[in-house]
């Protein structure tokens, strides 16, 4: 499901892909008025490479946008969910490298994943963004994950479940505007958030019509795969419909808005309240912004 979400809610404007010197080099273009950008399917060679590009620098998205799906599916067998942040070991034959305005991104990023403690006391790691490093097994025992994925002498940092979700909300609360730039996803997250809500509504509806996600885990493989296929097709369609509505909506709002001052957040302010304050502040100061009041789902 995460791959479907990432492909439709693509947030990196990749305009060129090169394979050289043991690297898969992704070149990021100059953003203009994009709300959501197309995934560069024509530039990708095979399925594993596609998954690697879809998950590149998207571990926070895996934790923050798939939180409801994972919690719902594992609710019947888990006793606790949490998150970890590690320095990952690279396994890919081709190391992914992003070039931003022809400048290589040399940051040594942390990598996040979810930890599931089962009711029998055993612990597993759910890492949906592992393909970027060459790991295509989304679930591993905790001990095996640490041994396999974490670099030598590197200890994971523990975080509470929901930490990356909070980062996603904070990202769109402070980036309610677009402007020509060389930077990727944060400016587009306000619209990705709408797609996240669409997915969660879809999951709730699908379960009421078909089967609870927890019950799917008890099915035999053939039957499970049939339900999985139906679920993914349903999620994909509602995401495509949602993206189409967002793009239609964008045609009626000002293009190339100016950057606006961001008012300080109060401790208890909700996402909707903060969004409304940003709009009021921007309009009062004569700035053109993406007025989201006409975007309904």
The secondary structure of 67-129 as a DSSP string is HHHHHHHHTTTEEEEEEEEE-BPP--SSEEEEEETTEE------EEEEEEEETTS-EEEE-TT
pLDDT mean over 160-168: 87
Question: What confidence tier does 33 reach under pLDDT thresholds 50, 70, 90?
Answer: low
Strand blocks (E) in the chain: 14-20, 23-28, 78-86, 95-100, 103-104, 111-118, 123-126, 139-141, 157-160
pLDDT mean over 145-165: 85
Given a contact cutoff of 8 angstroms between Cβ atoms, the answer to whether 173 and 193 are in contact is no
pLDDT at 122 over 60: yes
Least trusted range by pLDDT, from 56-70, 130-144, 170-184, 224-238: 170-184
Cα separation, 105 vs 26, in Å, equals: 10
The candidate with the shortest Cα–Cα distance to 270, out of 139, 166, 146, 157, is 166
pLDDT at 25 over 50: yes
The candidate with the shortest Cα–Cα distance to 275, out of 162, 177, 146, 166, is 177
pLDDT at 295 over 70: no
Q: Where are the domains of the chain?
A: 2-246
């Amino acid at each position: 499901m995460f791959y479907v979400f990432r492909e439709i809610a693509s947030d990196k404007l990749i305009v060129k892909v090169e394979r050289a010197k043991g690297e898969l080099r992704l070149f990021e273009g100059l953003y203009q008025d994009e709300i959501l950008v197309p995934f560069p399917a024509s530039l990708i060679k095979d399925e594993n490479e596609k998954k690697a590009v879809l998950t590149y620098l998207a571990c926070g998205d895996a934790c923050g946008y798939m939180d409801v799906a994972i919690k719902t599916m594992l609710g019947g067998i888990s006793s606790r969910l949490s998150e970890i942040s590690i320095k990952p070991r690279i396994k890919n034959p081709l190391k992914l490298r992003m070039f931003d305005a022809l400048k290589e991104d040399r940051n040594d990023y942390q990598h996040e994943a979810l930890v599931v403690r089962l009711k029998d006391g055993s612990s597993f790691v759910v890492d949906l963004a592992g393909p970027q490093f060459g790991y295509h097994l989304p679930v591993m025992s905790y001990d095996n994950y640490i041994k396999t994925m974490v670099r030598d002498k590197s200890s994971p940092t523990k975080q509470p479940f929901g930490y990356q979700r909070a980062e996603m909300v904070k990202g769109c609360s402070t980036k309610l505007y677009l402007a020509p730039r060389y930077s990727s996803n944060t400016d587009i997250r306000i619209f990705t958030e709408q797609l996240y809500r669409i997915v969660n509504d879809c999951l709730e509806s699908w379960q009421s019509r078909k089967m609870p996600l927890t019950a799917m885990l008890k099915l035999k493989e053939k039957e499970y795969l049939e339900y999985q296929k139906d679920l993914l097709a349903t999620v994909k369609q509602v995401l495509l419909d949602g993206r189409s509505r967002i793009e239609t909506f964008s045609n009626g709002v000002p293009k190339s808005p100016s950057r606006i001052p961001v008012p300080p957040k109060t401790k208890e302010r909700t996402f909707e309240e903060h969004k409304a304050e940003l709009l009021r502040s921007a309009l009062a100061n004569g700035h053109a912004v993406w007025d989201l009041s006409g975007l309904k789902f």
